[in-house]
Structure 1
Amino acid sequence: MTQSFDVDSFIRSRKQTRAVSDLLKAQAADYLATLSPLVRPQPLFGEYLQGAPRGSGRETQHHFKEFRTLFDKHAGARPFNLMNELEVPLNIINSTPELYPLEYEHTLDNGTRVRVTSPTRWVVGYSSFELSRFRQVVGDPNRSGSELHRFVVHYLMLFHCFSRAGGLGRLFKGLRFPVGFQCLDDFGDLPFCVISSPVSSTLPSDPVIRHSTEISGSRSFEELISDAEIEAMRDGLREQLSEALAAASAG
């Protein structure tokens, strides 16, 4: 998107973006809540998880071994630099998944750094482990090592459960809210689970962002959803059926 800064059209676009984003997030949250039993850690880890019933010995041992390898790979690396090891049984305080805003840094053409929020993508985390608080703890030189440890364990646990849930990715894709994994600013190579919506959002040109942040006095900005993006939405099932009809007719 490259356009000059027009206050009225910008305000209208912001309102439209917020309305569409709220609807999309509510839908994504509803799907996540419905499918959350598929990513509960208790059945996977059994007695390796505090308060969980005993599971299949070989299977739970396999999951714990994989998780310990995952923890060792990321916890001791930057920016966490954790030295403490995993304690068994694992203490997962809350395993209810929740959606948090996906944010990233954008550098304008004049060198100004802006914190950008996506209205169409969300990071999956556990309730009571807000992503914004995690970012604060990581950036605090006087941070609590135990609190940081809990955050790293919980986000790695969620990643493990999502990545091992066979068929879950296809389910979300079929619902038009695909699930993926990516690294985020401020968290090194730690993998996060991200849910995207069927509509994409984009940044306008740097001058538009600069004018907006100068007027608001804030170094934060939200991507915008255009009418064209909604009009260009594609229905994967409809396209597959159309291809099947065309192939059958040709045969």
Structure 2
Amino acid sequence: MQREFDIESFIEQRKKTRIVGDLLHEQATDYLATLALLIRPQLVFGEYLQGAPRGSGREAQHAFKEFKSLFEATASAEPFRLIQELDVPLEILSSTPQLYPYEYDMTLAGREQPVRITSPVRWVLGFKGFELQRFRQVIRDPNRSTAELFRFVVHYLMLFYCINRAPGLGRLLLGLRFPVSFEKLADFGDMPFCVIGSLVSSRLPDEGLVLKSTEIAGNGTFEELVDEADVRNMEDAVKERLLKAIDAI
């Protein structure tokens, strides 16, 4: 049975979601700014990148060889179908990490176009200037610029490679309550993306409520709602670990 749409309750949930989402995004962005130096491609690939200082020759060579294999396997497949090779030194236009909305489409009965769903507590990690929304637009454009698509693929794969090869960074972000995962996203084939989450979950209400909300708003977007219980039940992992150690004596 479809629930009755309670506009007052929904507005209150949206306000709480926006407050929690904004605060978490601000905190995650602050942490990323501090950790940015740990994921700079220039430190990994050295002279294989334009303008980068010379690094450890053997390590940089090994890293670039691995990245080249990753690029060739991903870029040549759907939906990219790129045939360009990586020219050395490779040009990297941006190496500043930035959070972009985690989005996906949802098909609802009674609506012709899918609804674009956004998570308030999860984000896709990319480099500044390489917005995920623009990347999706380039892929779908039949008259797309091959050069622009190439740059997007290179920058997102390079960020993935740099984070994936540094497990300590993932453990650090987990300790800061922003776990990192690697996922495939709709519209991007088998390309792996870095996703930053939080200890707060979000969910969708009944489909009927999502449909009613989009009808009232007059658009095709909806944001998941934060689970308030997660916020109220959050525990201090360090405190619990210390208490267990003391109790074990």
* Same fold, judged at TM 0.5 (above): yes
In 2: Cα distance, 1:181 partner to 1:149 partner: 21
User: Residue by residue, what CA displacement relative to the aligned partner does 1:139-162 show, whole Å, maximum 9, x if unpaired?
Assistant: 111100000000000000000010
> Does 2:87 align with 1:87?
yes
Q: Which amino acid counterpart does residue 44 of structure 2 have in structure 1?
A: L
How high is the TM-score relative to the length of structure 2? Answer: 0.95
In 1: Cα distance, 2:3 partner to 2:51 partner: 56
Q: Which amino acid counterpart does residue 127 of structure 2 have in structure 1?
A: Y
> Does 2:28 align with 1:28?
yes
User: Residue by residue, what CA displacement relative to the aligned partner does 1:195-247 show, whole Å, maximum 9, x if unpaired?
Assistant: 11121111111111010011112111100013222112232222222322332
Relative to 1, partners in 2 of residues 1:158 and 1:234: Cα closer, same or farther, differing over 3 Å? Answer: same
Cα pair 2:181 2:196 within 8 Å, conserved = yes
Instruction: Quote the offset at 1:60 in angstroms.
Output: 0.4
In 1: Cα distance, 2:109 partner to 2:234 partner: 31
Q: Which amino acid counterpart does residue 238 of structure 2 have in structure 1?
A: L
Larger mean Cα displacement after TM superposition, 61-70 or 106-115: 106-115
After the TM superposition, list the runs of 4 or more consecutive aligned residues in structure 1 that deviate by more than 3 angstroms. 109-112
In 2: Cα distance, 1:219 partner to 1:166 partner: 38
Q: Percent same amino acid at aligned positions?
A: 61
* Equivalent in the alignment of 2:75: 75
Show the 5 A alignment for 1:88-237. 88-110=88-110, 113-237=114-238
User: Residue by residue, what CA displacement relative to the aligned partner does 1:80-105 show, whole Å, maximum 9, x if unpaired?
Assistant: 01111111111000100000000011
User: Residue by residue, what CA displacement relative to the aligned partner does 1:91-144 show, whole Å, maximum 9, x if unpaired?
Assistant: 000100000000011223557521100000011100111111001001111100
Give the number of equivalent residue pairs.
247
Instruction: Quote the offset at 1:3 in angstroms.
Output: 5.1
Cα pair 2:99 2:123 within 8 Å, conserved = yes
In 2: Cα distance, 1:189 partner to 1:234 partner: 36
Q: Unaligned 5+ residue runs, structure 2?
A: none
Cα pair 1:36 1:96 within 8 Å, conserved = yes
Cα pair 1:13 1:226 within 8 Å, conserved = no
Show the 5 A alignment for 1:32-47. 32-47=32-47
Cα pair 1:39 1:161 within 8 Å, conserved = yes
In 1: Cα distance, 2:29 partner to 2:184 partner: 21
Instruction: Quote the offset at 1:5 in angstroms.
Output: 1.6
* Equivalent in the alignment of 1:11: 11
In 2: Cα distance, 1:65 partner to 1:27 partner: 35
Q: Unaligned 5+ residue runs, structure 1?
A: none
In 1: Cα distance, 2:34 partner to 2:3 partner: 41
Q: Which amino acid counterpart does residue 168 of structure 2 have in structure 1?
A: G
In 2: Cα distance, 1:186 partner to 1:173 partner: 28
Larger mean Cα displacement after TM superposition, 197-206 or 105-114: 105-114
CA RMSD of aligned residues (A): 1.4
Instruction: Quote the offset at 1:166 in angstroms.
Output: 3.6
